[in-house]
Amino acid sequence: MKEELSDYLLKNSFLLYPDSFRRLREDVYIFVAKKDSDKKIGLLTNGNFKLSSPHFAEDKYVEELGFYINLYPLTYENYLILKDNFGISPVTCKEKASFGTGDRLGLATPAHIKALKNYNVFPVLAQQSPRELVKTHRDFKDVFLKVILGVLEAGYAGGYGADADHIKDEKYLIEAIDAGYTMYTLDLSDLLVKISDMPKSQLKEKAQSLSSQSREIIDRFKGKKFSISTDEDFAVSEDELYKSALTYEKAMKFVEKVYGILKDRLQHFDLEISIDEGEKDTTVEDHIFVAEYLHRKGIDFWSLAPKFPGEFQKAIDYKGDIKKFTSGLKKHYFLSKKLGGYKLSLHSGSDKFSIYKIFNEITEGNFHIKTSGTSWLQAINIIFERDKDLFNDLYKIALDNLEESKKAYKVLIDRDDFPQTIQTEDSQILLKPEIKQLFHISYGVLLDERRKEIYEVLNKYEEEHYEFVSKNIENHLKEIFNI
């Protein structure tokens, strides 16, 4: 049937994605087909099931198939019809290991699936932050629909998640809920109280205003000793617990509010608490205070993202003392088991090859890792390979806007690190850390200036683009699972 369908579609200038063709029920088959760069959902039916905005004015009966055929755009309305009838929605995670793949362009989901489906890991395929939405001029629904389309294109029938990443306010939270996301990552960085510059007298004064719950946590854990193993232990400092309470108590109110909204509106969801973007590394006291406070409030969170020792800059490997990272990770994982069994999450997880194996081993495979910009960089790789003139234009635009792009990301690159023109005959140029970082943070301005041309190249060389993305994600997974 697939060959006959492909032949029929070709007569109508549509190209079938062979992996997409599958039966939803006895009288309904679904597939994805493309005409130029426009992808549509196709249905073979007995004539009783339809979506909105059909390509053909009326369903066409194809005698050699024995079904009626039509094609439809994947609008949100059409998604809801498919969701209600066939359960193609994202789900919450029930697996130990999970891996997030952000897709700033809305093109890479089939490539992500190709890599992830071969590993014992739960894929979180829709993963976008408000910052990325603003820079790419997208919204949560558009990101969501592009992932659904990619799932259908790949013919993927397994479970997958959708992460509304770095949520800092109620506006974006509601938008993500309305779109159908299953995971919510709360970024507390803007709500943390900066106490590093406060004199001791002021700290003592502020400590008097802590809630009774915060005081109870301090009283319970101060001076407590924990043994990770026969030769590794640590003690909890009362002074540090006070500092943790002063830093995080305000942010806990926001988590309470968000959790209440989620519980009112959703039956199931995964909640991640992100404290990885504060001013200092997450101490064991910080971890204890946050986890214990939330649990005492009845807030069941799925994962916690601490700020580990070292630097987690965009697009490059981990920078720092791996022994310190390992030591800190062991303590945080010990606490995650001791205080509730939630996952530890590694943010800015792209290209952190030197610590993947350690992260997997110490967490006993109970982790979440987030990547995003690494897939965008594969798009830049394709442009470098296939359109040098466009690549040169993108480089100049990125360089001219470097200072503005740096405002949103932590990278240690400056204008003086780069030549005015780039040597495109150097096939290794995109492996240089400063070049990777430049393009990683510049996606917003590059899409503003050259969106049409970028998408044209990627659509023209779609198979090659998919191959670059899937190989890159697989390189991450091989290192994580030591394969």
Structure confidence at residue 387 (pLDDT): 97
Q: Do the Cβ atoms of 151 and 144 come closer than 8 Å?
A: no
Q: Is 465 marked as a binding-site residue?
A: no
Structure confidence at residue 423 (pLDDT): 87
CA distance 8 to 13: 9
CA distance 186 to 52: 35
User: What's the whole-number mean pLDDT along residues 196-209?
Assistant: 86
Structure confidence at residue 88 (pLDDT): 92
Q: Do the Cβ atoms of 164 and 131 come closer than 8 Å?
A: no
Q: What is the token pair recorded at 23? A: 């039966």
Structure confidence at residue 315 (pLDDT): 92
Structure confidence at residue 258 (pLDDT): 98
pLDDT at 301 over 90: yes
CA distance 54 to 49: 12
Q: Residue ranges of the domains in the chain?
A: 1-86, 97-373, 377-481
Distances (CA, A) of 146 to 162, 342, 405, 412, 426: 12, 30, 25, 33, 34
Q: Is 314 marked as a binding-site residue?
A: yes
What does the mean pLDDT of the chain come to? 96
Write out pLDDT tens, residues 467-476. 999 999 999 9
CA distance 292 to 284: 12
pLDDT above 70 coverage of the chain, percent: 100
User: What's the whole-number mean pLDDT along residues 301-326?
Assistant: 96
Q: Do the Cβ atoms of 370 and 100 come closer than 8 Å?
A: yes
CA distance 100 to 93: 12
Structure confidence at residue 374 (pLDDT): 96
CATH of domain 97-373: 3.20.20.380
User: What's the whole-number mean pLDDT along residues 411-426?
Assistant: 91
Catalytic annotation, pick one of 132, 153, 163, 165? 165
Query: DSSP letter string over 113-169?
Result: HHHHTTSSSEEEEEEE-HHHHHHHT--HHHHHHHHHHHHHHHT--S--EEEEEEE-S
Structure confidence at residue 297 (pLDDT): 97
CA distance 317 to 271: 27
Q: Do the Cβ atoms of 477 and 119 come closer than 8 Å?
A: yes
Q: Is 166 marked as a binding-site residue?
A: yes
Global pTM? 0.96
272 is catalytic: yes
Residue 413 CA neighbour count, 13 Å, CB half: 31
Q: Do the Cβ atoms of 150 and 187 come closer than 8 Å?
A: no
Catalytic annotation, pick one of 59, 153, 163, 272? 272
Structure confidence at residue 201 (pLDDT): 82
Structure confidence at residue 324 (pLDDT): 97
User: What's the whole-number mean pLDDT along residues 65-88?
Assistant: 95
Write out pLDDT tens, residues 225-281. 999 998 899 999 999 999 999 999 999 999 999 999 999 999 999 999 999 987 789
pLDDT at 345 over 90: yes
Write out pLDDT tens, residues 37-50. 999 999 999 988 99
User: What's the whole-number mean pLDDT along residues 125-150?
Assistant: 98
84 is catalytic: no
pLDDT at 415 over 90: yes
